[in-house]
Structure 1
Amino acid sequence: MCSKESIASIRGAGPLILDGGLATELEAQGFGLQGDPLWSSRLLHTNPQAIQDAHYRFLDSGADVVSTATYQASIKGFMEHLDMSLETAQELMKSGVHLAQEAVQQFVTSNNDTERGRPLVAGCVGAYGAFLLDGSEYSGGYAEAMSIEELKAWHRPQISCLVSAGADLVAMETIPSVKEAEALLELLREFPSCKAWLSFSCKDGRSLCDGSPFLEAVRLAQRCSQLVAVGVNCCSPLLIRPLLDTVSPLRSPDQPWVVYPNSGEEWDRLSGWNASGSKVSSIAELSQEWLKQGATIIGGCCRVGPTHITELRKRLLIK
């Protein structure tokens, strides 16, 4: 597993660039994912080459980190929706890491870029609500009816597979509640060699989706020495500045901010993305502002593709 030192060696004097929305790029290539209970992770089973190719396109666009196609994946989900055994489901989960690793190796072999360090693979862990298929990952309400131990039990099989497959770090992302964050941080201690970042889902410039103050959530996260970064993802780019303003007293070089917003479009569970009034390029335009606020791991989420990552890298003057 990667260390904070290895991340620093890739960053050098500049930020670390994340990839964008993997499902967005797969849909751009003609794959229909909307409404699928496994989302992009179904292609781990049906078309793994498409996932590897998408990872490569993000690497080629300038990403220093690619996230596995496992956001909406779970051992239980694979067993239920693909009618497979526990062992086969575990291997499918691990394949998400292996495909990203193969894309990294292909990129390194094809490019003699001595200035960039070897790209990292982040094993992606989404909120429990993503499994429920009812949009509750955008509210976090389910956590009220679950205990910390129940949330840990849910996430444990996924994290175990990602760690054993050799992910460089784990990306615990789009977490909408403090309670689920607490469960993940406790669970992380069961994997002492594992480094991770924790990224929250927020509904406005001060609050997580469950209404908890972002400041409270970040303060909780910063107690964990295994975290290489804390931050926010899959919100409007316009929310990043006010969110980082609220936690400016907690800014720390040991745990910098990680930010990777979506395009600013709004998601409707029934109709999909609403593009009216959106401006994807604002991620690149606003990135220097986030850098000044202490965000040193920066990328994109839903509706952000390889061309936007290229723009982001250019805007931050990274060669």
Structure 2
Amino acid sequence: MNPLTPILRRHPIILLDGALATELEQRGCDLRDPLWSAKVLLETPDLIRQVHLDYFLAGADGAITASYQATVAGFMRRGLSSTEAIALIQRSVRLAIEARDAFWADPANHAGRPRPFVAASVGPYGAFLADGSEYRGDYGLSEAALIEFHRPRLAALLAAGADILACETLPCLAEAQALARLLAEFPDASAWISFSARDGAHTCHEIGRASCRERV
């Protein structure tokens, strides 16, 4: 069952947390890096846990993990092994779970609220490239190649105990289709998919200089 279903049966609105990277920057993190907020998983992971906890205290019903730009390929480009990369991706989930469990350990936080969930962020392929293509979707990759790129991260996030996957700000329909096909390999997993869009009907994907033509 989708973990959000029982929450929505009792609570008509689910409140997500706020921007993680913005809050990390306000607390002194320099995110001018190809890894963006995933850099903090390497440097000061306790700060990520604290931001998650503070969002729960502020009323968030769910935390979105610091894995938007955390990929095996991205960490290996930084010089880490694939094993170390997987461990960091899973750390993003554990930090959110630890914050959630610390929040929920206080019965005073139960009143009128569901037990918060942890959504593992899955950013688009272009976020790994760190060249702005996450806003265009002009990767030139096949569906099979996108599946191969995303597979190890999805497996790691789910193995770490994420309640649901948040496939975020996808710029093109093709990547959403690749992720939907990949999710079939994880039949017990639930996910939501959100797009970056130019308007109410079109994704941000462009082909050459043409306007977007993929309908959401």
Per-residue deviation, 1:114: 3.6
State the AA in 2 paired with 1:209.
C
Aligned match of 2:99: 103
Which of 13, 16, 23 aligns to 1:15? It is: 13
1:130 aligns with 2:127: yes
Superposition RMSD on alpha carbons, in Å?
1.2
Secondary structure of the equivalent of 1:123?
A: strand
- How do 1:3-42 residues align onto structure 2 when only pairs under 5 Å count? 3-4=1-2, 6-11=3-8, 12-33=10-31, 35-42=32-39
Per-residue deviation, 1:61: 1.0
Aligned residue pairs total: 208
1:165 aligns with 2:160: yes
Matched residues in 1 for 2:26 and 2:178: separation?
A: 35
Change (3 A) 1:77 1:9: same
Per-residue deviation, 1:110: 2.9
Matched residues in 2 for 1:24 and 1:212: separation?
A: 32
Secondary structure of the equivalent of 2:37?
A: helix
Matched residues in 2 for 1:40 and 1:184: separation?
A: 22
Secondary structure of the equivalent of 1:39?
A: coil
1:76 aligns with 2:77: no
Per-residue deviation, 1:136: 0.8
> TM-score, normalized by length of structure 2?
0.92
1:143-198 per-position Cα deviation (integer Å, ceiling 9, x unaligned): xx211100000111110100111100000010010111110000000000000001
State the AA in 1 paired with 2:138.
G
1:53-101 per-position Cα deviation (integer Å, ceiling 9, x unaligned): 00011111111110110001101111221x2211111111101000000
- How do 1:1-319 residues align onto structure 2 when only pairs under 5 Å count? 3-4=1-2, 6-11=3-8, 12-33=10-31, 35-81=32-78, 83-112=79-108, 113-142=110-139, 145-210=140-205, 211-214=212-215, 217=216
Change (3 A) 1:78 1:182: same
Matched residues in 1 for 2:213 and 2:181: separation?
A: 19
Matched residues in 2 for 1:111 and 1:212: separation?
A: 50
Matched residues in 1 for 2:141 and 2:214: separation?
A: 20
Structure (1 or 2) with the greater strand fraction: 1
> TM-score, normalized by length of structure 1?
0.63
Matched residues in 2 for 1:8 and 1:160: separation?
A: 23
Unaligned runs of 5+ in 2: 206-211
State the AA in 2 paired with 1:176.
P
Moved beyond 4 Å, runs of 4+: none
Matched residues in 1 for 2:107 and 2:131: separation?
A: 43
State the AA in 2 paired with 1:141.
D
Matched residues in 2 for 1:159 and 1:32: separation?
A: 27
Percentage identity across paired residues of the two chains: 44
Unaligned runs of 5+ in 1: 218-319
| 2:172 and 2:214 in contact (8 A); partners too | no
